Amino acid sequence: METKHFIAVDLGATSGRVILATVGAESLETETLHRFPNRLLCLDGKYCWNIYGLYEEIVEGLRLAGRRGVRIESIGIDTWGVDMAFVAEDGTLAGLPRSYRDPYTDGIPEAFFGKMPRREVYDRTGIQFMNFNSLYQLCAARKEGCAALKHASKILFMPDALSYLLTGEAVCEYTVLSTSQFMNPHTKRPDAELLAAAGIDASLFPRVVMPGERIGVLTDAAARDTDLGKVPVIAVAGHDTGSAVAAVPAENERFAYLSSGTWSLMGIEAAEPVIDDRTYTLNFTNEGGVDGTVRLLKNITGMWLLEQCRAAWTKEGKEYSYPEIMRMTEAAAPSGATIDPDAAEFAAPTDMPAAIRAYCREHGLNEPADDGAMMRLIFDSLAAKYAEVLRKLQGLAPFEIECLHVIGGGAQNDLLNRMTATACGIPVVAGPSEATALGNVMVQARTAGMAGSLAEMRQRIRRSIATKRYNPEKQ
């Protein structure tokens, strides 16, 4: 099998990367060609994404690829979910996409439930309720009288909008559509009745494509500008979590995953959506994955607590490196009791250590005696939270969960992974840390004939990257 080259564009809410991947019969290598910030714009009090700036950065990354002189098989783009761009009748983007961080959706879900009951919305979509879901963004835009929406000929999610700028072809990729709270998870199409309740015509969304389908080729201008020629752009799992989970190096289907970083997502991969009283009550979400799979998952606060404590300590003149934090945490005595990392008090405090101490006082818990004890409390609490969510998943899963795969930046957190294995009572397998990019690449590689099933994609990743296994310790 000949070696082939692919471009993965991986965009997060704070930064983005253009990655060159080289895939051989038994090899998979990645190199970051271009890294760039993704900064929110505040325009007239509205928080927007500079989509044209992102496009320019992507093109710059493609130029760097063009200078390598290698043949690029395809390009794939993944981003965060929910946010959308509006396309005018002349084919240009109308305005800038609004960000999920904009508070204009506050109170919108409750108003919408007056048109369609909350439980019916969940039964139709299987998506957990969050203020910033695409459904409520569209309602908020209509309430504001958004001219771009009023005159839109198409609505595109962020990865689809960027693919549109590169190719001129408009599509609606399945995995990112699945985050919107207006997709029917059985038909995998927009729910026309639900959108009508929001005052939106479902025909504004273009054809739905699955990961692996070809969107189009670079426009003449982009082909010339990058010196890449008419390279195909492939729909990968456009939602970054979908790409990340596609890269879980699992040996079989009996696993749970934890996409671990500042924020965490824990779930299982299912063949069909799980929408019932249990998932509704627990506010679990059903998101689309590669090959029509469903990610039954729960959002969990991750290292946010530690990161915010570290920022507060830095202001006090206490600079703790991550190796120091690990040593101090391990040296501290077990906390005995834990806090809830998902508590509202920790969402956006001005002083995280103070917020944690206040929470302890209010709930009858001993306050951490020093910074090391604070670190230990955070790690103990995260491990306990992961164990709690895993128990709920074990009650929902149609199979016995044999191990927990930790992917993303948290895969490199040796101490937390050890503590998580012990708290959960099952082995933890950590890696890859660059799961999103690898999932993006492997969907493209499969389209190019270099892999077959999702299981084969995962096998290739398993052979190409190093993982670390943690077994539960006796307590």
Amino acid 290 reads V
Beta strands per DSSP E along 89-231 = 154-157, 172-173, 183-184, 189-190, 208-209, 214-217
CA–CA separation, 148 vs 84, rounded Å? 11
Q: Quick check: helix, strand or coil at residue 277?
A: helix
8 A C-beta contact, residue 180 and residue 133: yes
CA–CA separation, 254 vs 79, rounded Å? 27
Structure tokens at 215: 């969107």
Region label for 431, one of left (φ > 0), alpha (ψ between -120 and 50) or beta (otherwise):
left
Catalytic residue among 102, 240, 291, 371: 240
Structure tokens at 106: 């506050």
| Among the listed residues 132, 405, 127, the one whose alpha carbon sits nearest the alpha carbon of residue 244 | 405
Residue 239 DSSP code: B
Q: What is the dihedral of CA 281, 283, 289, 291, to 10 degrees?
A: 10
Strands 232-234 and 72-78: what pairing?
A: parallel
83 catalytic residue (yes or no): no
CA angle 421/425/430 to nearest 5° reads: 25
Structure tokens at 306: 């530690």
Residue 93 DSSP code: B
Matching residue, tokens 């895939």:
23
Tell me which residues are annotated as active site: 240
